[in-house]
Structures are given as structure tokens and as C-alpha cells.
Amino acid sequence: MGGFLAAATGFFYPVMVLLSALTAILLQILSNLANDYGDFKKGLDNPDRTGPQRTLQSGRITESQMRKGIAITGFLTLLSGGTLLIMAWRHLAWKELAVFAFLGLSAVAAALFYTLGKHPYGYRGLGDLFCFLFFGWVAVAGTYYLAANRFDLAVFLPATAMGCLSNAVLNINNLRDHDNDKAHGKNTLVVRLGLKKGFVYHVVLIVSAFLCLTVFLLLKGKPWYAYSFWLLFPLFLSDLLMIHKTLDTGAPDKYLPKQVLQSFLLALVFSMLYYFT
């Protein structure tokens, strides 16, 4: 999303987009590994947990191997992010570089301490906030700024949309794990809200994403056919209806990969429509 928005300005550093994407992927992997390790150590990965069995839970790897995996992935993430900053120093002031360095280190810390440590923020219902910030605002607006070398406040609208869709993925996971999380003190936002309000929150996330993208196009004065990304909305609506029907059974888990793929599809279709109109 950030790359397409930057390319549309006509002043574009594609290397920045590639390095940003690589860093984001490594952050996601780091977060998944740390989450696997943290939940296992805190007893959440037990026979009562629904969804696919995790690596430590299944015994396929040891705790020592997981720690090594986290350390290696953390190093690669810092290496990728550091390379991104080195490439950016030519057209950014030192204050801007300092801000991006702080954001990068904060993203690594957020990936690790979602479930690690004595007071993981994921156990206090703050996972959605950090997911929104780093996989929404920082990812999209940050990539745009690095690749286009300019600031546009309106870019926070598609960045907000991506943050909402990222949270929707997390929320399906939390809807699935509601009972087990509640029993073991993992107070996710869904646990705090309850299943029914957690589903309403999910609806708000999906609708907000589409509305933010729509307002962005209105601000940019795009033609009517740029709004054809709404043709994808029935896919999301269908899943919303099915998730609502399966709330009490743990079945929402099968809609998690669909949410990921549909979010990626929406980002791609919207970005191409914006770029070519």
C-alpha cells in the first residue's frame, strides 16, 4: 500500500519499499515466534486450546531451539531495518533518521513483548493498539515517507485501513481463543469485551477500513471507477455472517487465513486502482 501510494507521486525509491517489506515480514515472523514461546511458557498452549497446534506445544522443537530462532530472526530484523536507514540517510535529515530508528527499535520491542516478559502487553488488552500502530500507521505512512520523500497527512487514511484489517486478523485469533485466554489470564480485548461485543468490534474494523479508503479517494478527487474496490466487500460480509454463526464453537479460526488473503487482495486492488486512475 505504502509503495503504490509513493509511486503515484512520481518521485519514488523502490529500494525503500522492498527493504520496508522485508523488515515488516521479519517483524511478523519475530512476533509469531515470540508469541509461540511466550504463550507456551505461560501455559496457554494446552489441550484446551483450539486452532492449529504450535511448534513448542507439539514438541517438534525445543525451548532452546525456539530461543535461538527468536535471536536469529531478531538479528535479521535489525539488519534489514538498519540497511533501510543506511539507504535513507542520503535524503533524510538526522532528526528524521532518529525518528525512524526509534520506530524500528520500538517495532522490534513490540514484536517481542506481546507475550514475553513478566508484564506482556498482549495480556492486558493492548495487542490491538500496537498492531494498529505498527502494521497500520508506521508500515504504510512510514514506507510512503521513505519511498516518496514527502509527507501527506491524507496517507493516514489508507494507513488506518490497513491497521484495521491487521487488527481484524488478530481479532479472529482472539475470538477463537476467547475461552482459553480468559481461563489463563490473557486479557485480550475480546476477553475484556466479551464474544458478542468482540464481534461488533470486528464489524467496525472491516467497515472502517472500507470507509477510510473511500474518504481518501474523495480527498484525492479520483473518478468513480476507482471506487470499484467495493466489489470485494461481499467477500468480507460473507465471512462476517459466518463468523457470527460460529462464535461459540471456536470455528472462526478457519476464517483467519481468508481474512489475511482478502486483506492483501483489497490492498492490492485498491492500490492499483489508485495508481492507474
Whether 235 has a pLDDT exceeding 80, the answer reads yes
Could you tell me the CA-to-CA distances from 206 to 63, 145, 211 in Å, in that order? Answer: 37, 26, 9
User: What are the b/e assignments for 19-41, b being 16+ CB within 10 Å?
Assistant: bbebbbebbbbbbebbbbbbbbe
Over the stretch 61-72, which tens digit does the pLDDT of each residue have? 899 999 999 999
Whether 249 has a pLDDT exceeding 80, the answer reads no
pLDDT at 143: 95
Give the integer Cα–Cα distance in Å for 235 and 96: 40
Question: Percent of the chain, pLDDT > 70?
Answer: 95
pLDDT at 46: 60
Could you tell me the CA-to-CA distances from 146 to 12, 76, 116, 215, 277 in Å, in that order? Answer: 9, 20, 31, 24, 23
Residue range(s) defining the domain that contains residue 111: 2-276
Looking at the 3D structure of the chain, how many domains does it have?
1
pTM of the model: 0.92
Over the stretch 186-208, which tens digit does the pLDDT of each residue have? 899 999 999 999 999 999 999 99
On whether the CB atoms of residues 149 and 2 are closer than 8 A, the answer is: no
Give the integer Cα–Cα distance in Å for 194 and 192: 6
Give the integer Cα–Cα distance in Å for 25 and 119: 25
Whether 58 has a pLDDT exceeding 90, the answer reads no
Whether 8 has a pLDDT exceeding 80, the answer reads yes
pLDDT at 180: 84
* C-alpha cell belonging to residue 248: 461459540
Task: Supply the mean pLDDT for the chain.
Answer: 92
Give the integer Cα–Cα distance in Å for 165 and 158: 11
Could you tell me the CA-to-CA distances from 108 to 52, 91, 105, 226 in Å, in that order? Answer: 25, 24, 5, 36
Whether 275 has a pLDDT exceeding 80, the answer reads yes
Could you tell me the CA-to-CA distances from 242 to 145, 213, 234, 247 in Å, in that order? Answer: 38, 24, 12, 9
Which residues, at least 6 apart from 24, have a Cβ–Cβ distance to it below 8 Å?
A: 135, 139
User: What number is the average pLDDT over the span 240-249?
Assistant: 86
pLDDT at 45: 61
pLDDT confidence bin for 261, thresholds 50/70/90:
very high
* C-alpha cell belonging to residue 38: 511466550
Whether 28 has a pLDDT exceeding 80, the answer reads yes
Over the stretch 204-229, which tens digit does the pLDDT of each residue have? 999 999 999 999 999 999 999 999 99
